[in-house]
Amino acid sequence: MVDFIDVIIPIPLKKLFTYTVTQAEAAFLKPGMRVAVPFGKSKIYTGIVFSIHKEAPAAYEAKDVQQILDDKPAVNSQQLQFWGWIASYYMCTLGDVMRAALPSAFILESETVVSKSKVHLADESILKDDEFLIYEALQHQSSLKIHDISNILGKKNVLPVIKRLIEKEAITVEEEVYEKYKPKLVRYVKLHNSYTSEKDFHELMEELGRAPKQREVVLTLFSISAKTKKPVKVTDLVADSGASSSIIKALVDKGILEEYHIQTDRVEYSGDDTSDLKQLNEHQEKALKTIQTSFETHSVTLLHGVTSSGKTEVYVKLIESVINEGKQVLYLLPEIALTTQLITRLQNYFGEKVAVFHSKYSVQERVEVWNHVLNHSAKAQIVLGARSSIFLPFSNLGLIVVDEEHEQSFKQFDPAPRYHARDAAVVLSHVHKAKTLLGSATPSLESYYNAKQNKYGFAELTVRYNNVLMPDIELVDVKEKQKKKRMKGHFSDRLIEEMTEALAEGHQIILFQNRRGFSPIVECKTCGHAPECPNCDVSLTFHQYRNQLRCHYCGYQAAMIQDCMACGGQDLDSKGFGTEQIEEEVKLLFPDHKVGRMDLDTTRGKYGYEKIITALEQQEIDILVGTQMLTKGLDFRNVKLVGIMNADNMLNFPDFRAHERSFQLMLQVAGRAGRTEERGKVLIQTYNPHHNILQQVSTNNYTEMFKEQMNDRYNFKYPPIYKQIKITLKHKDFNRVETASIWFAKSLRQVFGEHVLGPEAPPVARIRNQFHKNILVKIPKQQSLAKTKEAIIKINNSFASVKDFRSVRVILNVDNF
């Protein structure tokens, strides 16, 4: 007799796969344990046991589990429940969720990686159609994994194709073994046991009289350990004694010092004792009470608090009371807001109870946090994390704080699961019977609407801490200024005046330039041609620093052209303007001041962003030019003036959320001005100063914005009034994606009628050589979401069974952003 287990495998399979186990194994196994299972012709995967039962699969003969990898579950039951919700709500597979949720070090496996052959293929016509698809894809990407290939070909079993390609010498195959987790070992030294008595120590000192450097090292070691009463790191000893490591080695060789290792965490709190929590002011106190009361009846509460009102201090109080009950806290925020500033602020209160989970940290660092959370260790009672930290193995969550809840970066765009971390956090809270606090100075319409409907509780902070006034916001009419010749480059006379004054007073300035928008950056003045990306339907952007043209969609780069590629003309104009150009202009206008720039190009690497923030904090930068990276929760003391260079391109962005987002973005950047004592000043340059959004921004009128935008959402059937699912079809052949998308939309219309929009091409219709088509399904409140999804899945299944459509990629995006 055998038993069966259903296993989650980290690949997008529609169903769980069933394997056989012995009865003894079945008795040992528990859901959440890892097993190694064979799949397909020759692959072995790490899977997660989902259930243990006695029912043989009807369609195939179950294979044996190859190996059991754990003796206790690596994934707990709350997680499995949460994974199930994510998969069903966001219409993806449990395998997709598993891949996103587990640190890759847990999925011990070797993945085949295919890359282009070094030899040039003389004759491409020897390749069959499917072989050519792979070969061609490799002309644009350096390598492909097996699942990429099966996506391209639209089938699971791709090994035969790969085998043929290898035989034809068109590709090569290598094995990429996932990095395994190794705890970091730190070297320590101590005095050898034979010198610990006072007498022996004195003898040793005399003995070392002729080796003063070595004597110095031993004395330093003695004084460090007397002072700290803790093990002494080799690095500390080197730093304090000024000795080279060869001297220490000599002492170790002589048997005077002894070297040993202790396993440590990479992310370590090195601060001193924790400081007391701040005393809340009356407004904060009131907001805290309101939140606590609302938690008695609502599991989710929204805190709408203007910038610099002290929301963080309110969170801190709530966090304190939850950890005092012995429960865990998750503090979620957009990755970019996860700054040292904030981490230090929390560590000052909670010391090493705070753990940080960030995608820029190494696999190792993430596994450490994972294990602390899994073991419910005091070291990670409070997790400060970006989007993916919702997948940590919490077992006893008491509170989730979602700060900057309006941020769109909480939504994962690609790959599946395409989840929204704020919304998923609410569900995660339910799983743990915990509470969720959403916080923002500019709440999303969704959350504010939920609060209005009394689905969520609501609390407010309407004044800044210390009663600092909200910044004074002035709109500058660029059209008017141009007419009167009062513009210098992209700077109006008003902006220059205010900048001059702020600098004279010793204040700092932030200039915000949103680079989104479609205007070509380089254009030929003679024929109007703009260089485009060869892989995508967008113009290339000029990057002055490297003198390059780059595609912001696929990363393509080329040297800047000297003359027009179409007509050969040499008069090239740079239209539109980015952060680099603003930086150049500022340097010319204010040559005596230090200018910095913060955008994707200047913040690469783990600490790139931090370095710029620190430079601003330490006033090494007088004027900082940046993109939306600037908007996220930063708290600078000396910034008095904020300039928004151009409000129009964000307002004109073709998206139903563009107005809401512009409002949020502008108020958030404005919120960086004048956070202490003196009132800040904000100048917004625009061609359209009468735009309602700009009027609402300048009067800080959230409720007016909410009313007006909700009206539009209601009229045009957009969220939060209607839910929506976006279906994207992609293929390298334009005609095929065209026919396929028409077929798909027609089938959807038969079920949902007028609530189907499209197919239509997105603003950038081709990316990485794939043509895109979008179809939107709008779902009224009274229509069952579950039934809607069922119908879409059914249509998708029949779609996949049409031979011509099999290679078309279909992406389902629930609550798309």
Annotated binding site for Zn(2+): which residue ranges? Answer: 524, 527, 533, 536, 551, 554, 564, 567
C-alpha angle 128-134-138 in degrees, rounded to nearest 5: 135
Of 280-288, 481-489, 537-545, 577-585, the segment contacting ligand ADP by CB under 6 A is: 280-288
For the segment 508-527, give every residue that binds ligand ADP (CB under 6 A): none
- Helix, strand, coil shares of the chain, percent, nearest 5, are 40, 25, 35
Least spacing, CB of residue 767 vs Zn ion, in Å? 7
Interaction between residue 533 and Zn ion (CB under 5 A): yes
Q: Is 307 in the site for ligand ADP (CB under 6 A)?
A: yes
According to CB under 6 A, which one of 18, 79, 214, 308 is a site residue for ligand ADP?
A: 308
> By CB under 5 A, is residue 540 in contact with Zn ion?
no
Question: Whole-angstrom Cα distance, residue 644 to residue 625?
Answer: 10
Binding status of residue 280 toward ligand ADP by CB under 6 A: yes
> Of 43, 168, 215, 278, which lies in the binding site for ligand ADP, with binding defined by CB under 6 A?
278
Query: Does residue 330 belong to the site contacting Zn ion (CB under 5 A)?
Result: no
For the stretch 266-294, what's the b/e string if a residue is b when 16 or more beta carbons lie within 10 angstroms of its beta carbon?
A: ebebeeeebeeeeebbebbeebbebbbeb
423 binds, among ligand ADP, Zn ion, none (CB under 5 to 8 A by kind): none
Give yes or no for residue 284 binding ligand ADP (CB under 6 A): yes
- Tell me: does residue 465 bind ligand ADP (CB under 6 A): yes
- How far separated are the first and last CA of the chain, in Å rounded? 51
Contacts 24+ apart (CB under 8 A), 204-213: 204/256, 213/243, 213/247
Q: 617-656 mask for ligand ADP (x: CB under 6 A)? A: ------------------x---------------------
Q: Is 521 among the residues that bind Zn ion (CB under 5 A)? A: no
- Identity of the residue, 398 or 531, whose beta carbon is nearer to Zn ion in the bound complex: 531
Calculate the dihedral angle through the C-alpha atoms of 759, 761, 765, 771, rounding to the nearest 10 degrees: 20
The span from the CA of 738 to the CA of 179, in Å, is 42
Contact by Cβ (8 Å): 158, 149 = yes
Kindly tell me the sign of the dihedral angle through the C-alpha atoms of 658, 664, 669, 674.
positive
One residue of 3, 6, 313, 580 binding ligand ADP per CB under 6 A: 313
Place of tokens 């996932």: 178
| Binding residue for ligand ADP, selected from 311, 372, 640, 661, defined by CB under 6 A | 311
Q: Three-class SS of residue 753?
A: helix
Residue 266 near residue 349, CB atoms below 8 Å: no
531 lies in the site for ligand ADP, by CB under 6 A = no
Is the distance from CB of 553 to CB of 767 less than 8 angstroms? Answer: yes
Q: Which lies closer to Zn ion via its Cβ, residue 541 or residue 774?
A: 541
Answer for which of 89, 556, 609, 752 binds Zn ion (CB under 5 A) is 556
Least gap, CB of 310 to ligand ADP (angstroms): 3
- Cα-based distances in Å from 74 to 49, 79, 346, 424: 10, 10, 29, 21
- Rank residues 3 and 403 by Cβ distance to ligand ADP and give the closer one: 403
- Residue closer to ligand ADP by CB (options 279, 324) is 279
Q: Are 672 and 639 in contact (CB under 8 A)?
A: yes
554 binds, among Zn ion, ligand ADP, none (CB under 5 to 8 A by kind): Zn ion
- Residue nearest ligand ADP, CB atom distance: 310
- Closer of 668 and 774 to ligand ADP (Cβ): 668
Q: Which is nearer to ligand ADP, 215 or 278 (CB)?
A: 278
Own/partner contacts of 408-415, CB < 8 Å, gap of 24 or more, are 408/657, 408/661, 408/817, 409/334, 409/335, 409/336, 410/332, 410/334, 411/815, 411/817, 412/100, 412/387, 413/817, 414/811, 415/96, 415/100
Task: Name the nearest CA neighbour of 63 among 31, 40, 93.
Answer: 40
Residue 771 sits in the site that holds Zn ion (CB under 5 A): no
CB 338 within 8 Å of CB 358: yes
| 768 phi and psi angles, rounded to 5 deg | 50, 45
Q: Which of 281, 290, 548, 695 binds ligand ADP (CB under 6 A)?
A: 281
Total residues at interface with Zn ion (CB under 5 A): 7
142 binds, among ligand ADP, Zn ion, none (CB under 5 to 8 A by kind): none
Least Å from the CB of residue 545 to Zn ion = 20
What secondary structure letter does DSSP report for 637? S
Query: Given the rule CB under 6 A, which of 171-179, 311-319, 588-596, 624-632 is the region that contacts ligand ADP?
Result: 311-319
Residues that bind ligand ADP (CB under 6 A): 278-281, 284, 305, 307-313, 465, 635
Residues that bind Zn ion (CB under 5 A): 533, 535-536, 551, 553-554, 556
